[in-house]
Structure 1
Amino acid sequence: MSSPTAVRAVPWATEHLGLTLAHVGSETGLTIPELVEPGLRRNPRRAHLLVSTVLGKHVPTDPGAVIGAGDRLGDLVADVLGPDADPVVLGFAETATGLGHCVAARLRARCYLHSTRRDVPEIGTSAGFEEGHSHATSHQLQPTSVELFTGDRPLVLVDDEISTGATAVDAIRALHRQNPRSRYVVASLVDMREQGHRDAVDAAAAELGVQIDSVSLAVGRTELPGGLIDSVGALPEPVLNPVGERTGTVERADIPWPATVPEGGRHGFLRDDTEEFDAAVTSAAAVLLDRLDPQRPVIVVGHEELMYLPLRLADALATSGFRVRFQTTTRSPAYVLDRPGYPLRRGFRFTAPENGEQQPRFVYNAQWPDEDAVVVAVIDAAADTERLTAAGGLLDVLTASGTDVLLAVVSGFDPLSLRAARAATAAPPKTTRPGAPT
């Protein structure tokens, strides 16, 4: 990250539309302009988008910077909770699934779970809540067992940004009905709430009889100009799915994954899973190292909620000497404009690879300045379908732009096997009656 005192260019959306992300304060020395840039959406409810420079979602980002931001946020949580809290952590889909995992790893949390928009009927949903301004509003919680989140340990809720705090409060209410606890912490990269929003969170805490603390890397204020929704609507139609002078290539790398090692936090990631997960990441990275040219830059692109595993793979490549950036695809449509000072310079719309999904998906930028990078697209088994390779799919739109793609398919994980293994571990040992045959 750059120095807080560095001179930064005025963002395009600030200069031309008056959309300003103002810095208010920070306990970390980081500033709002360092952490987020103003982007735009054609959405009648909310026309602005906070584009994080350290999240690895919309903008290709140094994986070390992504992990570092999560570590710093985790340290702030630890300072609030103290050394013996032993918390559980919840990350919000889709944007903060990787960030939440980074925070949980830093805290050595007993359990990490992220909300999901991918229904796994075999596992079932233990709770749910809504997100007001999101493109996809419904969140489901699908741990292998509700017992993973029971007890009175503090619950840390992690999101990339807190704009009003309403989503966090809705999640707290839903979880508190299922399992009351005394303390919650809301952790975010940036906190953009107004005082009225803070008062509403305090009122909810008083109503529930709980303590809700908030921590962030920086506190800011979103200054919205009048008529922004109309101003964004009047901008030229965005140009998506650019076509290059040549068609890129596609290669496939199959990456086996242990059936009972969670590939992320969708069904709960326990502290005891860490060692086997790290070993599986090392093996997966070795497969990629054999397939990549170390002289060529790499952009590792995760798929929606699958953020932490691709992030760790990107970090492993960087440790091996590759020039690497990390980002993921998203459900969220954003306004693309190829202008200096605007963070979403290039965009792709493609068919969701999962069978049964109707809404399009997006990926932004996915390029290396002034060099021809290879994209390593990391997907799981549910996304490994004909829709992925068909016309209009992710591989089609990326290669049409001239991008070479290495498709890394991580398969083998089975949530039902994971649930059975956890149940077997948690079950008390069988005892034998005195005098019975052994």
Structure 2
Amino acid sequence: MWATEEFGLALHHDTTSTGYTVPELVEPGLRRNPRRAHLLVSTVLGKHLPTDPATVLAAGHRLGQLVAETLGPDVADAVVLGFAETATGLGHCVADTIGAACYLHSTRRHVPGADVFAGFEEGHSHATSHLLQPTSPELFANPAPLVLVDDEISTGATALDAIRAVHRQQTRAHYVVASLVDMRSDEHRLLTATAATELGARIDHVSLAGGHTEIPDGLTARVTALPDPELNPFSPQRGEARFVSLLWPGHVPDGGRHGVLHCDVAGFDAAVEAAADALAGVRDATRPAIVIGHEELMYLPLRLANALASRGTPTRFQTTTRSPAYVLDVPGYPLRRGFTFAAPEYIASDLEPEAPRFLYNAQWTGAGSRPELILVIDSPADTDRLRAPGGVLDVLTAAGEDVLVAVVPSTDPLTLRESRAGRPREENK
């Protein structure tokens, strides 16, 4: 690995109960962030690396099985919380696997009409604030076991901050923190035990593999001193951008931003199949595809990617991100190509100053022929900024990529709330 050879940044494997190992699950990357200069690039998440959707789903389902084993007979009552933005899809996989009563992911999008149930901070992240916006407090304000899902646990601090925030709203006896990898030190594990005693609750951790990160002295300064990365590659032949609108029922949540109930699962599955049929009908079936989700919108694009693969299209999956990472086209480094662009759905806010967005790699050398990029966005991101110079379509087509933009109507929290209010209480389970 280039980051290990050049900087001494190494990811070590310690334990597994699943057969997965840390080096199989994450690769060392870099980012010029004064809070944390290293980045664990997941090979099974579908964020930075285009990944077989079946691989992403399998990892999430295996993690869900660990959660179910830990919860035992209480699993059917569990509420699952996925962390934005990287774990919104992973959390949904876990919730589906265990048949959770409710799945919710935190969000950094301020949605009109959505009430904020709680919030917490993520200290090392580029975008630190998390909001919880269920359609009603009752979905989350209950004593059921809470499962918190993140892609990786480095210190456990974010999970503990989230547990404290929701515990202030509703006390619980049992929390489970689930992650693809757990890289906590003994000191960090002691902090978790101390927090459990403080709250009077049980806090368990489960992961596909556990290990530790070897961070050399001076890494932040050395990474900061690197030359600016070369982003937004240019091709003499500009690619083509096309659009397709996908139907989505207003009473079915498009993801976990406002909560997905167990009774929503069948409707979600049916809506995915209908959307996949529509998508397959407008694209070139002879070309492979890389399905690209939009930041927190991970699970729906993941399921669309898997549906295309099941229909015979060679498919990979990944998403855009708010997180800047260091890009360098050298063998053994996972971030070989990068794009930066204006946020398409940006709305001026004193709480959230404008920041660029990013996409990494978005290429598939073993596909046999040049893949079509299928960018899946929700309607708030379908703006003039999406099409403007410096927007994501501009930078991708300038690199010679053909992009099919699939627009899904975003879930309106007021419509969803009214739909749920009209159901018998027993159906909202």
The two structures have a TM-score, normalised by structure 1, of 0.94
Distance 1:132 1:98 in 2: 21
1:125 to 116, 119, 122: 116
Q: Is the 8 A contact 1:152 1:182 kept in 2?
A: yes
Report the residue type matching 2:26 in the other structure.
V
Q: Is the 8 A contact 1:297 1:368 kept in 2?
A: no
Q: Give the corresponding residue for 2:361.
A: 365
CA shift, 1:136, in A, is 0.4
Report the residue type matching 2:382 in the other structure.
D
Distance 1:58 1:198 in 2: 28
Distance 2:30 2:419 in 1: 45
Matched, 1:395 2:393: yes
Q: Is the 8 A contact 1:260 1:415 kept in 2?
A: no
Q: Give the corresponding residue for 1:33.
A: 23
Distance 1:201 1:77 in 2: 18
Stretch moving more, 189-198 or 149-158: 149-158
Counterparts of residues 271-286 of structure 1 (less than 5 Å): 271-286=262-277
Q: Give the corresponding residue for 1:93.
A: 84
SS at match of 1:190: strand
Counterparts of residues 6-155 of structure 1 (less than 5 Å): 11-86=1-76, 87-155=78-146
What do you get for the CA RMSD once the two structures are aligned?
A: 1.3
CA shift, 1:201, in A, is 0.5
Distance 2:129 2:424 in 1: 31
Distance 1:326 1:150 in 2: 34
Distance 2:108 2:410 in 1: 21
Distance 1:354 1:253 in 2: 18
Counterparts of residues 4-403 of structure 1 (less than 5 Å): 11-86=1-76, 87-356=78-347, 358-369=354-365, 371-403=369-401
SS at match of 2:114: coil
CA shift, 1:427, in A, is 6.4
Q: List per-residue Cα deviations over 1:117-137 (Å, max 9, x = no partner).
A: 001131110100000100000
Report the residue type matching 2:287 in the other structure.
R
CA shift, 1:227, in A, is 1.1
Q: Give the corresponding residue for 2:419.
A: 421
CA shift, 1:412, in A, is 5.8
Distance 2:335 2:66 in 1: 30
Q: Give the corresponding residue for 1:408.
A: 406
Report the residue type matching 1:16 in the other structure.
E
CA shift, 1:233, in A, is 2.2
Percent identity (aligned):
65
Distance 2:143 2:224 in 1: 48
Q: List per-residue Cα deviations over 1:387-414 (Å, max 9, x = no partner).
A: 0000000100000000000000001632
Unaligned ranges ≥5, structure 1: 1-10, 429-438
CA shift, 1:372, in A, is 1.2
Report the residue type matching 1:420 in the other structure.
E
CA shift, 1:360, in A, is 0.6
Stretch moving more, 110-119 or 251-260: 251-260
Q: Is the 8 A contact 1:376 1:406 kept in 2?
A: yes
Stretch moving more, 91-100 or 150-159: 150-159
Q: Is the 8 A contact 1:256 1:412 kept in 2?
A: no
Report the residue type matching 1:78 in the other structure.
A
Q: Is the 8 A contact 1:194 1:221 kept in 2?
A: yes
Distance 1:255 1:152 in 2: 38
Report the residue type matching 2:357 in the other structure.
R
The two structures have a TM-score, normalised by structure 2, of 0.96
Unaligned ranges ≥5, structure 2: 349-353
Q: Tell me which structure has the larger Cα radius of gyration.
A: 1
Q: Alignment length, in residue pairs?
A: 419
CA shift, 1:50, in A, is 0.3
SS at match of 1:409: strand
Q: Is the 8 A contact 2:108 2:129 kept in 1?
A: yes
